[in-house]
């Protein structure tokens, strides 16, 4: 076939396709021109017999023909079923099921906490997981001989760099960067040299809280208790109450440990609360004046409270998870149950 003959054949084919007026005619033309044994594939196969110098132009013309013929056929509905014909599918079949992922329980506790405290005007503050001695210990009024600073308890990188053992250093960072009033929660990852078992992990999460206000709006332990009581009800259920037990933390005075009444037995005593009716969830207290001094606040001018929750602890009691390790193993059989 010469190039001219090819152009003529192409024009004819396009005319024929244009004139085809039913599905059978379109299909016949598809077979005739572009089908496996059609004219155009035959021309491609025969390329080797075309004189060498003509080959590029000829090849180009064949490809152009194929493209135009296919486009014209497609416009006529080739390959699709003709109009009005039954569709070869059962439209009543259920759709394909795709599993949706769920949020990790720790993410959910953090997001829910941010939403609950958000309603009380707390914003979320962030700090690095790699901290210095001043923020993690010194400014939190922790003396140099304190056991938490020991190498057997804390991951140190040199003398002044450690994986933070608590989210409390974000209190220091927040106060150093802002004038009072301050109202933040700080969720994040913390690290201690613990051997892992059902209730301990070297890596866990905390949510810190800090509220500081000026002299004209003094902050009290009662404010702390009411905020934590609100949080307990929102997070664990309407019947849950809080109690404070005296404790010691270097950065708060007075300091307390915070228990939630057991949401499972409603305080009567069960396995979850080890028969006590109460579950320990947080440490808290009134910010120690020495901490205010470290961050450059005048303790005569401000007062405030702070608290720190274990996120894993809340997740475990809220969702009934007996082993902390399940939270890190990423086993979908476990995680998907919490959707
Ligand atoms: N940082 C303490 C810990 O990890 C928890 C804590 C206690 C945080 C009292 C506070 C607080 O903000 O006031 O054990």
| H/E segment holding residue 213 | strand 203-214
Domain assignment of residue 311, yes or no:
yes
Q: What is the pLDDT of residue 141?
A: 97
* Distance in angstroms (rounded) separating the CA atoms of residues 270 and 275: 5
From 122, 149, 224, 249, give the residue whose CB has the most ligand 1 atoms within 8 Å, as the site to mutate: 249
Domain assignment of residue 94, yes or no:
no
Nearest to 1 by CA among 57, 46, 65, 66: 46
Q: Tell me: pLDDT of 336 over 60.
A: yes
Q: Are residues 76 and 114 in the same domain?
A: no
The pLDDT tens digits of the residues spanning 113-142 come to 999 999 999 999 999 999 999 999 999 999
Domain assignment of residue 159, yes or no:
yes
Nearest to 314 by CA among 111, 55, 47: 111
- Find the CATH number of the domain harbouring 185: 3.30.930.10
Q: Tell me: pLDDT of 80 over 60.
A: no
Q: Are residues 258 and 157 in the same domain?
A: yes
Helix axes 3-19, 55-75, angle to 10 degrees: 0
**Residues with Cβ within 8 Å of residue 217, at least 6 apart in sequence:** 181
How confident is residue 85, by pLDDT bands cut at 50, 70 and 90? low
Domain assignment of residue 143, yes or no:
yes
Give the C-alpha distances (Å, rounded to integers) separating 20 from 73, 74, 76, 84, 195: 10, 12, 8, 17, 79
Q: Which residues line ligand 1 (CB under 6 A)?
A: 166, 168, 208, 249, 252, 283-285, 306-308
Q: Are residues 136 and 191 in the same domain?
A: yes
- Ligand 1, atom 8, lies closest to the CA of 308
Q: Are residues 22 and 146 in the same domain?
A: no
Q: Are residues 237 and 326 in the same domain?
A: yes
DSSP string of 42-68?
HHHHGGGGS-TTTHHHHHHHHHHHHHH
Q: Which of 75-79, 157-161, 307-311, 312-316 has the lowest average pLDDT?
A: 75-79
Range of the domain at 293: 105-338
Q: Tell me: pLDDT of 82 over 50.
A: no
DSSP 8-state symbol, 327 = G
The pLDDT tens digits of the residues spanning 234-268 come to 999 999 999 999 999 999 999 999 999 999 899 89
Q: Tell me: pLDDT of 49 over 90.
A: no
The pLDDT tens digits of the residues spanning 286-311 come to 999 999 999 999 999 999 999 999 99
Q: What is the pLDDT of residue 231?
A: 98
Distance 249 CA to ligand 1 centre (A): 7
Q: What is the pLDDT of residue 240?
A: 94
Distance 65 CA to ligand 1 centre (A): 77
DSSP 8-state symbol, 262 = P
Q: Which of 21-35, 70-84, 204-218 has the lowest average pLDDT?
A: 70-84
Domain assignment of residue 194, yes or no:
yes
How confident is residue 177, by pLDDT bands cut at 50, 70 and 90? very high
**Residues with Cβ within 8 Å of residue 61, at least 6 apart in sequence:** 3, 6, 7, 10
Tell me what the mean pLDDT of segment 148-168 comes to: 94
Count of structural domains, the chain:
2
Q: Tell me: pLDDT of 332 over 50.
A: yes
Please name every residue paired with 305 in a beta bridge, in sequence order, or none if there are none.
Answer: 211, 286
Mean pLDDT over the full length of the chain? 92
Task: Tell me the percentage of the chain whose pLDDT exceeds 90.
Answer: 66
Q: Are residues 110 and 64 in the same domain?
A: no
Q: What is the pLDDT of residue 128?
A: 98
- Contact assessment for residue 320 and residue 265, using Cβ atoms and an 8 Å cutoff: no
Tokens for 84, please give them.
């009005």
Q: What three-state secondary structure class fits 330?
A: coil
Domain assignment of residue 131, yes or no:
yes
Q: Are residues 19 and 59 in the same domain?
A: yes
- Ligand 1, atom 13, lies closest to the CA of 284
Q: Which of 47, 82, 117 is the last residue of a domain?
A: 82
Q: Which of 82, 114, 148 is the last residue of a domain?
A: 82
Tell me what the mean pLDDT of segment 80-109 comes to: 78
Nearest to 314 by CA among 337, 338, 283, 282: 282
Q: Are residues 64 and 109 in the same domain?
A: no
Q: Are residues 327 and 252 in the same domain?
A: yes
Q: Are residues 189 and 320 in the same domain?
A: yes
Q: Are residues 302 and 214 in the same domain?
A: yes
Tell me what the mean pLDDT of segment 89-105 comes to: 86
Domain assignment of residue 253, yes or no:
yes
Query: b/e per residue, 273-296, with b = 16+ CB within 10 A?
Result: beeebbbebbbbbbbbbebbebbe
Q: Are residues 222 and 269 in the same domain?
A: yes
* Distance in angstroms (rounded) separating the CA atoms of residues 310 and 94: 44
DSSP string of 263-302?
TTTTTS--TTTTTSSEEEEEEEEEEPHHHHHHTT--TTTE
Domain assignment of residue 91, yes or no:
no
Distance 327 CA to ligand 1 centre (A): 22
């Amino acid at each position: 076939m010469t190039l001219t003959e090819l152009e003529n054949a192409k024009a004819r084919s396009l005319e024929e396709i244009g004139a085809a007026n039913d599905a059978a005619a379109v299909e016949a033309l598809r077979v005739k021109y572009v089908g496996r044994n059609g004219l155009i594939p035959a021309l491609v196969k025969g390329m080797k017999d075309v004189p060498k110098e003509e080959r590029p132009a000829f090849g180009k013309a064949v490809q152009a023909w194929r493209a135009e013929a296919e486009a014209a056929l497609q416009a006529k509905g080739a390959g699709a079923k003709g109009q009005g014909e039954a569709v070869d599918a059962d439209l009543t079949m259920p759709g394909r099921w795709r599993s949706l992922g769920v949020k990790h329980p720790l993410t959910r506790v953090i997001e829910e906490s941010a939403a609950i405290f958000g309603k009380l005007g707390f914003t979320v503050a962030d700090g690095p997981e790699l901290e210095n001695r001043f923020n993690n210990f010194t400014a939190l009024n922790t003396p140099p001989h304190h056991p938490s600073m020991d190498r057997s308890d804390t991951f140190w990188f040199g003398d002044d760099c450690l994986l933070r053992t608590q989210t409390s250093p974000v209190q220091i960072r927040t106060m150093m960067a802002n004038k009072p009033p301050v109202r933040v929660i700080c969720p994040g990852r913390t690290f201690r040299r613990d051997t892992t078992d059902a209730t301990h992990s070297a890596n866990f999460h905390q949510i810190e809280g800090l509220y500081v206000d000026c002299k004209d709006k003094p902050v009290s332990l009662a404010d702390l208790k009411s905020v934590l009581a609100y949080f307990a009800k929102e997070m664990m259920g309407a019947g849950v109450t809080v109690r404070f037990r005296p404790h010691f933390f270097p950065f708060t005075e007075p300091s307390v440990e915070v228990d939630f009444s057991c949401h499972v037995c409603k305080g009567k005593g069960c396995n979850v609360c080890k028969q006590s009716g109460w579950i320990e969830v947080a440490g808290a207290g009134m910010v120690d004046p020495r901490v205010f001094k470290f961050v450059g606040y005048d303790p005569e001018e401000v007062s405030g409270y702070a608290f720190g929750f274990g996120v894993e602890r809340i997740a475990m009691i809220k969702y009934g998870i007996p082993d902390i390790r399940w939270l890190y193993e990423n086993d979908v059989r476990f995680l998907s149950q919490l959707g």
